[in-house]
Amino acid sequence: MTSLTVTDTIINQARSEGRSLLSEVESKNLLVAEGISVTDAQLAKDVDEATSVAESLGYPVVMKIISPDIAHKSDVGGVVVGLADSNELKSAYEEMMTKVTSVASTARIDGVSVQSMAEPGIEVIVGATTDPQFGPVMMFGLGGVFVEVLKDVSFRIVPLEPRDAKQMVREIDALPILEGVRGQEGADLQALEALLLSVSELIERRPEIAELDLNPVFAYSNGAIAVDARIVLDSQDGV
């Protein structure tokens, strides 16, 4: 008999609750188990749990709202970065709960995620969606306005070959920013290619993952790490 993997357990848990959306914490736990580099996030159900997670991680930390009804956490005041000590964390917690419950009054709140603060890097986006015609498709681009306003992204059909990953990273218009401009250090393009290949491999192996967003990934001159993650499972109807 084969034993259940972490990924099976997380997917089964969501299925048993009739959910297709995994929380940031579940998405990241799954990705860690699959060998993908993320800022490891832990769920805290109240301010005391949040403080003890922060103590164990070491400050500074980042705190985010965890709710099945909130997709864009920062839009509702649900992300605070750079919390330097327990006093800052406690007041940020109270403030976040007040803000979120006033902006999103009907949202169910599971708690907050507490995670280490990553060093700033070049923000990129790695995504996977299911196209009705082509099936699983991967997307890559630079974060923020580059994706949202300029639509400067590259796409490839899963599974990716190493050559596809190389092209995806290099064919966006914003490539000079990744390569480093005006004395700014560039990004580790090989680490981004490796990340694209790992996500493609995961999507191929786990067809029940309908959507996967790493938004953003911080790209460094050496390595890259996802600081936000969102996974959506396919709906089981008709499967």
Binding interface with Mg ion (CB under 5 A): 215, 228
Q: From Mg ion, ligand ADP, none, which one binds at residue 73 (CB under 5 to 8 Å depending on kind)?
A: ligand ADP
Residue 39 interacting entry, from ligand ADP, Mg ion, none, C-beta within 5 to 8 Å by type: ligand ADP
Question: Counting every residue, how long is the chain?
Answer: 239
Q: How far is the CB of 76 from ligand ADP (least distance, A)?
A: 9
DSSP state, residue 74: G
* One-letter identity of residue 61: V
Provide, rounded to whole angstroms, the least separation between the CB of residue 230 and ligand ADP.
8
Interaction between residue 117 and ligand ADP (CB under 6 A): yes
Q: Does 79 bind ligand ADP (CB under 6 A)?
A: yes
Give the interface size with ligand ADP as a residue count (CB under 6 A).
15
Cβ–Cβ under 8 Å, residues 27 and 43: no
Report CA-CA distances (Å) from 75 to 58, 71, 108.
27, 9, 16
Secondary structure class of 61 (helix, strand, coil) = strand
- Does 28 sit near ligand ADP (CB under 6 A)? no
CA 44, CA 47: separation in Å to the nearest integer?
7
Q: Does 44 bind ligand ADP (CB under 6 A)?
A: no
Please identify which residue in 32, 118, 137, 194 interacts with ligand ADP, judged by CB under 6 A: 118
Is the separation of the CB atoms in 173 and 145 below 8 Å? no
In the complex, least distance from residue 132 CB atom to ligand ADP, rounded to whole angstroms: 26
Among residues 40, 12, 6, the alpha carbon closest in space to that of 24 is found at 40
Please state, in angstroms and as integers, the Cα–Cα distance from residue 126 to each residue in 102, 138, 139, following that order.
Answer: 32, 7, 6
- Candidate list 73, 125, 126, 164; residue touching ligand ADP; CB under 6 A: 73
Residue 127 contacts ligand ADP per CB under 6 A: no
156 sits near ligand ADP (criterion: CB under 6 A): no
Alpha-helical segments (H) within 78-155: 86-103, 145-148
Among positions 11, 92, 227, 231, the unique one binding ligand ADP when judged by CB under 6 A? 227
Closest separation between CB of residue 8 and Mg ion, Å? 26
Residue 146 CB contacts under 8 Å (≥ 6 apart), including other chains: 152, 172, 174
Least separation in angstroms between CB 118 and ligand ADP = 4
Q: Which residue ranges make up the site for ligand ADP (CB under 6 A)?
A: 39, 62, 64, 72-74, 79, 81, 115, 117-118, 215-216, 227-228
